[in-house]
Amino acid sequence: MQSSSAAGCYGSWYRWRTGLLAALENGRIDVSCFASPGVEQAVARGNALVFINHPQGEDPALKEFLFELLYVRPDYAEKNPETVKKVVKALVDANQWIQTAKIEDHLEILRKRFPGIEDAILIESIKNTIAAIEPSGCITPAALSSAVKFMRDVGAINNDVPFNAVVDNSFNQACKK
């Protein structure tokens, strides 16, 4: 949290999330799409309901949606393959920890990241988020396809994106099995 905060990311994200919740709760907007624990917080306050829980796979078009990615410039990966492998392994290990850790272990971390949010809301957030984590870290063509479709539907991109142009699973040992 400290490094994110120093870079201005946490503060910006926090203001955006709280602003979005305030807008929803005060009737300034009718529908929103945001991440945990904002969703669970709005629902717990009785000011929102969940139409579709994407992390739980309720939208078949987004079943393998790419919620989190690691981006690496091709030139960096080519010059530093061992570093990239180590980072990928650390992320896969983290994904697996997320899947297997006890709720209490998650809470210990999340209480620091989201001070003031009730444990019940954080627990619901954990349950929702765990479903979206791909423990292997492998990206499938279906996952990329769903992300591309989503980005095209919202007007973020205009063209399809070839799998081999943006995905390289070769640095992830789990994808080689």
- What is the domain range of residue 107? 62-176
| Secondary structure (3-state) at 138 | coil
The total domain count for the chain is 1
Residue 125 lies in a domain: yes
Tell me which DSSP letter residue 109 carries: H
The answer to the question of residue 120 being in a domain is yes
Its pTM stands at 0.73
Per the domain annotation, does 98 fall within a domain?
yes
**Digits of tens for pLDDT over the chain (177 positions)?**
333 333 344 445 455 566 777 888 888 888 777 778 888 888 898 888 888 887 777 888 777 777 778 889 999 999 999 999 999 999 999 999 999 999 999 999 999 999 999 999 999 999 988 888 888 889 999 889 888 888 888 888 999 999 999 999 999 988 876
Is 33 a domain residue? no
Residue 144 falls inside a structural domain? yes
In a domain, 21, yes or no: no
What pLDDT sits at residue 2?
34
> What does the pLDDT read at residue 128?
86
pLDDT of residue 10: 44
Please check whether residue 145 is in contact with residue 151, taking contact to mean a CB–CB distance below 8 angstroms.
no
The whole-number pLDDT of residue 15 equals: 58
Q: What pLDDT, on the 0 to 100 scale, is given for residue 151?
A: 85
Question: Using CA atoms, how far apart are residues 68 and 92, in angstroms rounded to an integer?
Answer: 12
pLDDT of residue 17: 62
- 87 in Cβ contact with 70 (< 8 Å): yes
CA 128 to chain centre: 11
- Are 88 and 8 in contact by the 8 Å Cβ rule? The answer is no
Report pLDDT for 6: 37
Is residue 156 in a domain?
Answer: yes
CA distances from 172 to 4, 99, 139, 144 (A): 26, 18, 10, 17
23 within some domain: no
